[in-house]
Amino acid sequence: MSDTFDVIVIGAGPAGYVAAIRAAQLGLKTAVVDAFVGKDGKQALGGTCLNIGCIPSKALLDSSKQFHNLTHNFASHGITAENPKIDIPTFVGRKDKIVKQFTGGVSLLFKANKVTSFFGKGKLLKGNQVEITGNDGTKQTIAATNVILASGSVPIELPFAKFDGKHIVDNAGALDFTDVPKRLGVIGAGVIGLELGSVWKRLGSDVTIIEALPEFLAVADADVAKAAAREFAKQGLTIKLNAKLSKAEVKGDEVHLTYNDKDGDHNLVVDKLLVAVGRRAYTDGLLAADTGVKIDERGRIVVDEHCHTGVDGVWAIGDAVRGPMLAHKGSEEGVAVAELIAGKPGHVNLDLVPWVIYTEPEISWVGKTEKQLKDEGVPYKTGSFPFAANGRAVAMNEGVGLVKIIAHAETDRILGVHMVGPVVSELIHEAVVAMEFKGSSEDLARIVHAHPALSEVVHEAALAVDKRAIHKSN
Protein backbone atom coordinates (compact mmCIF):
# COMPACT_ATOMS: atom_id res chain seq x y z
CA MET A 1 0.00 0.00 0.00
CA SER A 2 1.62 3.21 -1.18
CA ASP A 3 -0.27 6.04 0.52
CA THR A 4 -2.69 6.68 3.36
CA PHE A 5 -4.98 9.71 3.46
CA ASP A 6 -7.64 11.21 5.69
CA VAL A 7 -10.03 11.43 2.72
CA ILE A 8 -10.08 9.81 -0.70
CA VAL A 9 -12.67 11.02 -3.20
CA ILE A 10 -13.54 8.80 -6.16
CA GLY A 11 -14.70 11.13 -8.93
CA ALA A 12 -13.66 14.70 -9.77
CA GLY A 13 -16.97 16.13 -10.97
CA PRO A 14 -18.75 19.04 -9.23
CA ALA A 15 -19.55 16.82 -6.24
CA GLY A 16 -16.14 15.20 -5.91
CA TYR A 17 -13.75 18.06 -6.59
CA VAL A 18 -15.69 20.42 -4.32
CA ALA A 19 -15.68 17.80 -1.54
CA ALA A 20 -11.92 17.39 -1.96
CA ILE A 21 -11.18 21.12 -1.85
CA ARG A 22 -13.34 21.66 1.23
CA ALA A 23 -11.78 18.67 2.99
CA ALA A 24 -8.32 20.03 2.25
CA GLN A 25 -9.34 23.48 3.51
CA LEU A 26 -10.30 21.82 6.78
CA GLY A 27 -6.81 20.40 7.17
CA LEU A 28 -7.51 16.85 5.98
CA LYS A 29 -4.94 15.04 3.83
CA THR A 30 -6.97 14.50 0.68
CA ALA A 31 -6.70 12.59 -2.59
CA VAL A 32 -8.94 12.39 -5.65
CA VAL A 33 -9.13 9.52 -8.12
CA ASP A 34 -10.61 10.25 -11.56
CA ALA A 35 -10.36 8.64 -14.99
CA PHE A 36 -11.96 11.24 -17.27
CA VAL A 37 -9.92 11.77 -20.42
CA GLY A 38 -10.02 15.07 -22.29
CA LYS A 39 -9.74 15.61 -26.02
CA ASP A 40 -5.97 15.76 -25.69
CA GLY A 41 -5.85 12.28 -24.13
CA LYS A 42 -4.86 13.64 -20.73
CA GLN A 43 -6.70 13.67 -17.41
CA ALA A 44 -9.44 16.30 -17.42
CA LEU A 45 -10.82 17.14 -13.99
CA GLY A 46 -14.35 18.44 -13.56
CA GLY A 47 -16.38 15.38 -14.57
CA THR A 48 -19.31 15.44 -16.95
CA CYS A 49 -20.37 18.95 -15.95
CA LEU A 50 -17.19 20.78 -16.90
CA ASN A 51 -16.15 18.53 -19.79
CA ILE A 52 -19.30 17.47 -21.66
CA GLY A 53 -22.24 18.86 -19.71
CA CYS A 54 -23.15 22.10 -17.96
CA ILE A 55 -20.30 24.34 -19.06
CA PRO A 56 -19.84 23.39 -22.74
CA SER A 57 -23.59 23.34 -23.37
CA LYS A 58 -23.91 26.86 -21.96
CA ALA A 59 -21.06 28.01 -24.20
CA LEU A 60 -22.88 26.69 -27.27
CA LEU A 61 -26.20 28.08 -26.06
CA ASP A 62 -24.69 31.55 -25.73
CA SER A 63 -22.94 31.43 -29.11
CA SER A 64 -26.06 30.17 -30.87
CA LYS A 65 -28.14 32.85 -29.16
CA GLN A 66 -25.84 35.55 -30.51
CA PHE A 67 -26.21 34.17 -34.03
CA HIS A 68 -29.98 33.86 -33.70
CA ASN A 69 -30.23 37.44 -32.45
CA LEU A 70 -28.18 38.64 -35.40
CA THR A 71 -30.35 36.79 -37.91
CA HIS A 72 -33.75 37.29 -36.28
CA ASN A 73 -33.87 39.94 -33.55
CA PHE A 74 -31.34 42.69 -34.10
CA ALA A 75 -33.26 44.26 -36.99
CA SER A 76 -35.84 45.59 -34.53
CA HIS A 77 -32.98 47.46 -32.83
CA GLY A 78 -31.92 48.98 -36.13
CA ILE A 79 -28.95 46.61 -36.42
CA THR A 80 -28.48 44.76 -39.70
CA ALA A 81 -25.73 42.65 -41.25
CA GLU A 82 -25.43 41.24 -44.74
CA ASN A 83 -25.15 37.48 -45.29
CA PRO A 84 -24.34 36.47 -41.69
CA LYS A 85 -22.88 33.01 -41.30
CA ILE A 86 -21.42 30.86 -38.59
CA ASP A 87 -18.18 28.90 -38.69
CA ILE A 88 -18.85 25.64 -36.83
CA PRO A 89 -15.18 24.76 -36.11
CA THR A 90 -14.76 28.17 -34.44
CA PHE A 91 -18.14 27.78 -32.70
CA VAL A 92 -17.09 24.41 -31.23
CA GLY A 93 -13.50 25.56 -30.67
CA ARG A 94 -14.66 28.41 -28.43
CA LYS A 95 -16.51 25.85 -26.33
CA ASP A 96 -13.39 23.69 -26.09
CA LYS A 97 -11.28 26.64 -24.92
CA ILE A 98 -13.77 27.41 -22.15
CA VAL A 99 -13.80 23.76 -21.08
CA LYS A 100 -10.00 23.65 -20.96
CA GLN A 101 -9.91 26.86 -18.94
CA PHE A 102 -12.21 25.47 -16.26
CA THR A 103 -10.82 21.93 -16.09
CA GLY A 104 -7.36 23.46 -15.81
CA GLY A 105 -8.74 25.72 -13.11
CA VAL A 106 -9.73 22.70 -11.02
CA SER A 107 -6.20 21.34 -11.38
CA LEU A 108 -4.79 24.64 -10.13
CA LEU A 109 -7.20 24.62 -7.18
CA PHE A 110 -6.02 21.11 -6.29
CA LYS A 111 -2.41 22.29 -6.30
CA ALA A 112 -3.24 25.38 -4.24
CA ASN A 113 -5.07 23.27 -1.64
CA LYS A 114 -2.52 20.40 -1.70
CA VAL A 115 -5.02 17.83 -2.99
CA THR A 116 -3.28 14.81 -4.50
CA SER A 117 -4.74 13.74 -7.85
CA PHE A 118 -4.56 10.17 -9.18
CA PHE A 119 -5.36 9.44 -12.84
CA GLY A 120 -7.29 6.20 -13.20
CA LYS A 121 -10.48 4.34 -12.33
CA GLY A 122 -11.12 4.01 -8.61
CA LYS A 123 -12.64 0.94 -6.96
CA LEU A 124 -13.60 0.78 -3.29
CA LEU A 125 -12.19 -2.26 -1.49
CA LYS A 126 -13.01 -3.53 1.98
CA GLY A 127 -11.40 -1.54 4.77
CA ASN A 128 -11.62 1.82 3.01
CA GLN A 129 -8.92 0.97 0.52
CA VAL A 130 -9.14 2.21 -3.06
CA GLU A 131 -7.69 0.34 -5.98
CA ILE A 132 -6.65 2.58 -8.87
CA THR A 133 -6.43 1.14 -12.36
CA GLY A 134 -4.56 3.36 -14.76
CA ASN A 135 -5.36 3.64 -18.45
CA ASP A 136 -2.36 1.43 -19.15
CA GLY A 137 -3.75 -1.30 -16.87
CA THR A 138 -1.33 -0.76 -13.99
CA LYS A 139 -2.79 -0.94 -10.49
CA GLN A 140 -1.99 0.63 -7.17
CA THR A 141 -3.82 0.73 -3.84
CA ILE A 142 -4.25 3.65 -1.47
CA ALA A 143 -6.23 3.90 1.77
CA ALA A 144 -8.02 6.48 3.87
CA THR A 145 -9.99 6.93 7.05
CA ASN A 146 -12.86 8.21 4.92
CA VAL A 147 -13.81 7.52 1.30
CA ILE A 148 -16.30 9.68 -0.58
CA LEU A 149 -17.92 8.05 -3.60
CA ALA A 150 -18.72 10.68 -6.23
CA SER A 151 -18.79 8.59 -9.39
CA GLY A 152 -21.51 10.61 -11.13
CA SER A 153 -23.86 9.44 -13.86
CA VAL A 154 -23.90 8.42 -17.51
CA PRO A 155 -26.50 8.75 -20.29
CA ILE A 156 -29.15 6.05 -20.56
CA GLU A 157 -28.78 4.15 -23.83
CA LEU A 158 -31.80 2.72 -25.61
CA PRO A 159 -31.33 -0.89 -26.80
CA PHE A 160 -32.85 -0.06 -30.20
CA ALA A 161 -30.92 3.22 -30.61
CA LYS A 162 -27.38 2.51 -29.47
CA PHE A 163 -24.82 5.30 -29.55
CA ASP A 164 -22.41 5.11 -32.46
CA GLY A 165 -20.81 8.51 -31.86
CA LYS A 166 -21.57 9.67 -35.39
CA HIS A 167 -25.22 9.34 -36.32
CA ILE A 168 -26.78 8.40 -32.96
CA VAL A 169 -25.22 10.40 -30.14
CA ASP A 170 -25.49 11.29 -26.48
CA ASN A 171 -25.07 14.79 -25.05
CA ALA A 172 -21.29 14.68 -25.62
CA GLY A 173 -21.71 13.87 -29.30
CA ALA A 174 -24.25 16.67 -29.78
CA LEU A 175 -21.66 19.16 -28.50
CA ASP A 176 -19.21 18.28 -31.25
CA PHE A 177 -21.10 18.15 -34.56
CA THR A 178 -18.77 19.22 -37.35
CA ASP A 179 -21.58 21.00 -39.21
CA VAL A 180 -25.20 21.93 -38.67
CA PRO A 181 -27.39 18.87 -39.26
CA LYS A 182 -30.14 19.66 -41.72
CA ARG A 183 -32.51 17.45 -39.72
CA LEU A 184 -31.97 16.68 -36.05
CA GLY A 185 -34.03 14.19 -34.11
CA VAL A 186 -34.07 14.37 -30.31
CA ILE A 187 -35.46 11.66 -28.06
CA GLY A 188 -36.54 13.22 -24.78
CA ALA A 189 -37.89 16.72 -24.07
CA GLY A 190 -36.03 17.15 -20.81
CA VAL A 191 -33.23 19.56 -19.91
CA ILE A 192 -30.61 18.11 -22.27
CA GLY A 193 -32.99 17.57 -25.19
CA LEU A 194 -34.43 21.08 -24.99
CA GLU A 195 -31.09 22.85 -24.52
CA LEU A 196 -29.14 21.07 -27.25
CA GLY A 197 -32.18 21.00 -29.54
CA SER A 198 -32.35 24.77 -29.12
CA VAL A 199 -28.65 25.19 -29.96
CA TRP A 200 -28.90 23.51 -33.35
CA LYS A 201 -32.35 24.93 -34.14
CA ARG A 202 -30.95 28.45 -33.79
CA LEU A 203 -28.25 27.59 -36.30
CA GLY A 204 -30.74 26.36 -38.89
CA SER A 205 -31.41 22.70 -38.11
CA ASP A 206 -34.95 21.32 -38.49
CA VAL A 207 -35.43 19.86 -34.99
CA THR A 208 -38.03 17.29 -34.00
CA ILE A 209 -38.23 16.25 -30.33
CA ILE A 210 -40.00 13.00 -29.47
CA GLU A 211 -41.20 12.77 -25.86
CA ALA A 212 -42.80 9.66 -24.35
CA LEU A 213 -44.71 11.49 -21.60
CA PRO A 214 -48.17 12.89 -22.41
CA GLU A 215 -47.42 16.25 -20.77
CA PHE A 216 -44.68 18.71 -21.68
CA LEU A 217 -42.21 19.27 -18.81
CA ALA A 218 -44.33 17.36 -16.32
CA VAL A 219 -41.77 18.06 -13.57
CA ALA A 220 -42.40 21.81 -13.83
CA ASP A 221 -45.48 23.77 -12.84
CA ALA A 222 -48.22 23.45 -15.46
CA ASP A 223 -48.54 27.22 -16.07
CA VAL A 224 -44.79 27.58 -16.65
CA ALA A 225 -44.65 24.49 -18.87
CA LYS A 226 -47.55 25.78 -20.95
CA ALA A 227 -45.93 29.20 -21.43
CA ALA A 228 -42.60 27.59 -22.36
CA ALA A 229 -44.22 25.20 -24.85
CA ARG A 230 -45.93 28.14 -26.55
CA GLU A 231 -42.61 29.95 -27.01
CA PHE A 232 -40.80 26.86 -28.29
CA ALA A 233 -43.56 26.34 -30.86
CA LYS A 234 -43.10 29.93 -32.05
CA GLN A 235 -39.38 29.22 -32.45
CA GLY A 236 -40.16 26.28 -34.71
CA LEU A 237 -39.19 23.46 -32.36
CA THR A 238 -41.43 20.49 -33.18
CA ILE A 239 -42.26 18.60 -29.98
CA LYS A 240 -44.29 15.41 -30.26
CA LEU A 241 -45.77 14.33 -26.92
CA ASN A 242 -46.99 10.90 -25.85
CA ALA A 243 -44.79 9.49 -28.60
CA LYS A 244 -42.45 6.53 -28.14
CA LEU A 245 -39.49 5.63 -30.30
CA SER A 246 -39.53 1.95 -31.29
CA LYS A 247 -36.77 1.78 -33.91
CA ALA A 248 -33.73 3.74 -35.08
CA GLU A 249 -31.81 2.42 -38.06
CA VAL A 250 -28.79 4.04 -39.68
CA LYS A 251 -28.98 3.89 -43.47
CA GLY A 252 -26.09 5.60 -45.18
CA ASP A 253 -25.81 9.06 -43.64
CA GLU A 254 -29.42 9.07 -42.42
CA VAL A 255 -31.18 7.73 -39.34
CA HIS A 256 -34.60 6.23 -40.04
CA LEU A 257 -36.88 6.41 -37.02
CA THR A 258 -40.14 4.70 -36.21
CA TYR A 259 -42.23 6.04 -33.35
CA ASN A 260 -45.82 5.57 -32.26
CA ASP A 261 -48.45 7.74 -30.65
CA LYS A 262 -52.24 7.65 -30.29
CA ASP A 263 -52.57 7.80 -34.07
CA GLY A 264 -50.36 4.77 -34.67
CA ASP A 265 -46.87 4.33 -36.15
CA HIS A 266 -44.97 7.15 -37.86
CA ASN A 267 -41.68 7.35 -39.74
CA LEU A 268 -39.13 10.14 -39.52
CA VAL A 269 -35.79 10.50 -41.29
CA VAL A 270 -33.06 12.64 -39.70
CA ASP A 271 -29.37 13.26 -40.27
CA LYS A 272 -28.44 13.05 -36.58
CA LEU A 273 -30.23 11.58 -33.59
CA LEU A 274 -29.62 12.80 -30.04
CA VAL A 275 -30.85 10.34 -27.41
CA ALA A 276 -31.51 12.28 -24.19
CA VAL A 277 -33.91 10.11 -22.21
CA GLY A 278 -32.16 10.61 -18.89
CA ARG A 279 -29.11 9.52 -16.95
CA ARG A 280 -28.32 6.69 -14.54
CA ALA A 281 -25.96 6.50 -11.60
CA TYR A 282 -22.52 5.33 -12.72
CA THR A 283 -21.43 2.63 -10.31
CA ASP A 284 -20.00 0.11 -12.79
CA GLY A 285 -16.87 -1.42 -11.27
CA LEU A 286 -16.99 1.04 -8.36
CA LEU A 287 -17.47 -1.42 -5.50
CA ALA A 288 -15.82 -4.68 -4.54
CA ALA A 289 -18.35 -7.34 -3.54
CA ASP A 290 -17.45 -7.29 0.16
CA THR A 291 -17.53 -3.54 0.89
CA GLY A 292 -21.00 -3.63 2.45
CA VAL A 293 -22.13 -0.59 0.44
CA LYS A 294 -25.66 -1.12 -0.88
CA ILE A 295 -27.14 -0.27 -4.27
CA ASP A 296 -30.90 0.40 -4.67
CA GLU A 297 -33.25 -0.79 -7.43
CA ARG A 298 -32.30 2.18 -9.62
CA GLY A 299 -28.60 1.52 -9.35
CA ARG A 300 -27.93 4.35 -6.90
CA ILE A 301 -25.75 4.11 -3.79
CA VAL A 302 -27.92 3.92 -0.68
CA VAL A 303 -27.21 6.72 1.82
CA ASP A 304 -28.90 8.34 4.80
CA GLU A 305 -29.82 12.02 5.14
CA HIS A 306 -26.15 12.82 5.80
CA CYS A 307 -24.88 10.97 2.69
CA HIS A 308 -23.41 8.17 4.80
CA THR A 309 -23.60 4.66 3.36
CA GLY A 310 -23.86 2.84 6.68
CA VAL A 311 -20.31 1.50 6.24
CA ASP A 312 -17.89 3.16 8.64
CA GLY A 313 -16.05 5.99 6.89
CA VAL A 314 -17.77 5.55 3.51
CA TRP A 315 -19.91 8.35 2.08
CA ALA A 316 -21.56 8.98 -1.29
CA ILE A 317 -22.68 12.18 -3.00
CA GLY A 318 -23.90 13.69 -6.27
CA ASP A 319 -25.60 11.91 -9.15
CA ALA A 320 -24.76 8.48 -7.72
CA VAL A 321 -27.22 8.92 -4.82
CA ARG A 322 -30.86 9.92 -4.28
CA GLY A 323 -32.10 13.38 -5.13
CA PRO A 324 -31.96 15.46 -8.29
CA MET A 325 -29.04 14.92 -10.67
CA LEU A 326 -27.85 18.51 -10.55
CA ALA A 327 -24.28 19.77 -10.27
CA HIS A 328 -25.03 22.30 -7.56
CA LYS A 329 -26.82 19.69 -5.43
CA GLY A 330 -23.75 17.45 -5.66
CA SER A 331 -21.40 20.31 -4.79
CA GLU A 332 -23.35 21.21 -1.66
CA GLU A 333 -23.39 17.56 -0.61
CA GLY A 334 -19.62 17.52 -1.08
CA VAL A 335 -19.19 20.50 1.22
CA ALA A 336 -21.56 19.01 3.81
CA VAL A 337 -19.79 15.64 3.89
CA ALA A 338 -16.32 17.21 4.15
CA GLU A 339 -17.52 19.28 7.09
CA LEU A 340 -19.15 16.27 8.77
CA ILE A 341 -15.90 14.32 8.42
CA ALA A 342 -14.08 17.24 10.07
CA GLY A 343 -16.51 17.16 12.99
CA LYS A 344 -18.50 20.18 11.92
CA PRO A 345 -22.24 20.42 11.13
CA GLY A 346 -23.16 19.78 7.51
CA HIS A 347 -26.54 19.90 5.84
CA VAL A 348 -28.22 20.16 2.43
CA ASN A 349 -31.91 21.04 2.07
CA LEU A 350 -32.98 18.81 -0.81
CA ASP A 351 -36.42 20.43 -0.80
CA LEU A 352 -34.98 23.76 -1.91
CA VAL A 353 -32.62 22.80 -4.72
CA PRO A 354 -33.34 25.15 -7.66
CA TRP A 355 -33.83 23.76 -11.17
CA VAL A 356 -32.88 25.65 -14.33
CA ILE A 357 -33.29 24.95 -18.03
CA TYR A 358 -31.11 27.33 -20.07
CA THR A 359 -33.29 27.59 -23.13
CA GLU A 360 -34.66 30.83 -24.55
CA PRO A 361 -36.72 31.73 -22.60
CA GLU A 362 -35.07 30.23 -19.55
CA ILE A 363 -37.10 28.08 -17.16
CA SER A 364 -36.49 27.77 -13.42
CA TRP A 365 -38.26 26.68 -10.29
CA VAL A 366 -37.84 25.77 -6.64
CA GLY A 367 -40.19 24.07 -4.20
CA LYS A 368 -43.59 22.54 -4.87
CA THR A 369 -45.76 22.80 -7.97
CA GLU A 370 -49.44 23.62 -7.76
CA LYS A 371 -50.31 20.05 -8.73
CA GLN A 372 -48.13 18.59 -5.99
CA LEU A 373 -49.79 20.76 -3.35
CA LYS A 374 -53.24 19.89 -4.66
CA ASP A 375 -52.41 16.17 -4.54
CA GLU A 376 -51.07 16.55 -0.99
CA GLY A 377 -54.16 18.44 0.15
CA VAL A 378 -52.21 21.53 1.18
CA PRO A 379 -54.24 24.77 1.07
CA TYR A 380 -52.52 27.34 -1.11
CA LYS A 381 -52.91 30.61 -2.98
CA THR A 382 -51.05 31.82 -6.06
CA GLY A 383 -49.96 35.03 -7.68
CA SER A 384 -48.36 35.55 -11.07
CA PHE A 385 -47.05 38.40 -13.17
CA PRO A 386 -45.99 38.49 -16.84
CA PHE A 387 -42.67 39.76 -18.19
CA ALA A 388 -44.71 41.44 -20.94
CA ALA A 389 -45.69 44.08 -18.36
CA ASN A 390 -42.13 44.70 -17.21
CA GLY A 391 -40.33 47.69 -18.70
CA ARG A 392 -36.84 46.18 -18.56
CA ALA A 393 -37.93 42.93 -20.23
CA VAL A 394 -39.72 44.76 -23.04
CA ALA A 395 -36.75 47.10 -23.53
CA MET A 396 -34.60 43.97 -23.90
CA ASN A 397 -37.06 42.63 -26.47
CA GLU A 398 -37.62 39.66 -24.16
CA GLY A 399 -41.08 40.34 -22.77
CA VAL A 400 -42.23 36.72 -22.66
CA GLY A 401 -43.04 34.38 -19.80
CA LEU A 402 -44.07 34.90 -16.20
CA VAL A 403 -43.24 34.45 -12.52
CA LYS A 404 -45.63 32.44 -10.37
CA ILE A 405 -45.50 32.29 -6.58
CA ILE A 406 -47.38 29.72 -4.52
CA ALA A 407 -47.92 30.42 -0.81
CA HIS A 408 -49.70 28.60 1.98
CA ALA A 409 -53.29 29.82 2.16
CA GLU A 410 -53.18 30.22 5.95
CA THR A 411 -49.57 31.04 6.91
CA ASP A 412 -48.53 32.78 3.65
CA ARG A 413 -45.22 30.87 3.75
CA ILE A 414 -43.82 30.51 0.22
CA LEU A 415 -44.13 26.90 -0.95
CA GLY A 416 -42.98 27.17 -4.55
CA VAL A 417 -41.76 29.70 -7.11
CA HIS A 418 -41.85 29.00 -10.84
CA MET A 419 -40.47 31.13 -13.65
CA VAL A 420 -40.15 31.23 -17.40
CA GLY A 421 -38.59 34.25 -19.05
CA PRO A 422 -35.36 36.24 -19.43
CA VAL A 423 -32.51 35.50 -17.02
CA VAL A 424 -34.72 33.52 -14.62
CA SER A 425 -31.67 31.32 -13.91
CA GLU A 426 -30.53 34.25 -11.78
CA LEU A 427 -33.90 35.53 -10.55
CA ILE A 428 -34.80 32.19 -8.95
CA HIS A 429 -32.24 32.68 -6.20
CA GLU A 430 -34.22 35.48 -4.58
CA ALA A 431 -36.92 32.87 -4.07
CA VAL A 432 -34.46 30.25 -2.80
CA VAL A 433 -33.16 32.65 -0.13
CA ALA A 434 -36.66 33.69 0.92
CA MET A 435 -37.80 30.07 1.19
CA GLU A 436 -34.67 28.91 3.04
CA PHE A 437 -35.47 31.49 5.71
CA LYS A 438 -39.14 30.45 5.72
CA GLY A 439 -40.22 33.71 4.13
CA SER A 440 -43.76 34.64 3.13
CA SER A 441 -45.11 36.22 -0.02
CA GLU A 442 -45.69 39.31 2.11
CA ASP A 443 -41.95 39.44 2.83
CA LEU A 444 -41.14 39.55 -0.89
CA ALA A 445 -43.94 42.02 -1.50
CA ARG A 446 -42.52 44.49 1.06
CA ILE A 447 -38.91 44.38 -0.20
CA VAL A 448 -37.91 47.34 -2.38
CA HIS A 449 -36.87 46.23 -5.87
CA ALA A 450 -34.89 48.47 -8.21
CA HIS A 451 -36.63 49.99 -11.23
CA PRO A 452 -36.40 49.17 -14.02
CA ALA A 453 -35.33 45.59 -13.30
CA LEU A 454 -36.43 42.09 -14.23
CA SER A 455 -36.69 41.30 -10.52
CA GLU A 456 -39.73 43.59 -10.34
CA VAL A 457 -41.67 40.68 -11.87
CA VAL A 458 -40.92 38.66 -8.72
CA HIS A 459 -42.07 41.60 -6.62
CA GLU A 460 -45.32 41.98 -8.56
CA ALA A 461 -45.99 38.23 -8.44
CA ALA A 462 -45.66 38.38 -4.66
CA LEU A 463 -48.11 41.28 -4.56
CA ALA A 464 -50.45 39.31 -6.81
CA VAL A 465 -50.68 36.49 -4.26
CA ASP A 466 -52.98 38.84 -2.30
CA LYS A 467 -54.44 40.36 -5.46
CA ARG A 468 -52.66 43.69 -5.14
CA ALA A 469 -50.23 43.72 -8.08
CA ILE A 470 -49.78 47.28 -9.25
CA HIS A 471 -49.10 46.90 -12.96
CA LYS A 472 -51.81 44.43 -13.93
CA SER A 473 -55.51 44.05 -13.19
CA ASN A 474 -56.15 41.48 -10.46
Question: Parallel, antiparallel, or unpaired for β 139-149 and 3-10?
Answer: parallel
Q: Is 221 annotated as a binding residue?
A: no
Tell me whether residue 195 is annotated as binding: yes
Q: Is 162 annotated as a binding residue?
A: no
419 is in an annotated binding site: no
User: Rounded CA gap, 320 and 355, in Å?
Assistant: 18
**Catalytic residue status for 451:** yes
The reply to whether 194 sits in an annotated binding site is: yes
Q: 211 among the known binding-site residues?
A: yes
Tell me whether residue 122 is annotated as binding: yes
Report phi then psi at 230, rounded to 5: -65, -40
CB 247 within 8 A of CB 257: yes
Any known ligand binding at 189?
yes
Q: Is 294 annotated as a binding residue?
A: no
Catalytic residue among 72, 266, 306, 451: 451
**Was 191 annotated as part of a binding site?**
yes
Residue 190 is assigned to a ligand binding site: yes
Query: Would the annotation count 439 as a binding residue?
Result: no
188 marked ligand binding residue = yes
- Answer yes or no: is 328 a known binding residue: yes
Q: Is 407 annotated as a binding residue?
A: no
Kindly give, in sequence order, each residue whose CB lies less than 8 Å from that of residue 186, ignoring residues fewer than 6 positions away: 193, 196, 197, 207, 208, 209, 210, 273, 274, 276
Closest CA to 355 of 346, 345, 365: 365
- Which residues define the annotated binding site? 58, 122, 188-195, 211, 278, 319, 325-328
Which residues are part of a known binding site for NAD(+)? 188-195, 211, 278
Residues of each annotated binding site for FAD: 58, 122, 319, 325-328
Annotated catalytic sites, by residue?
451
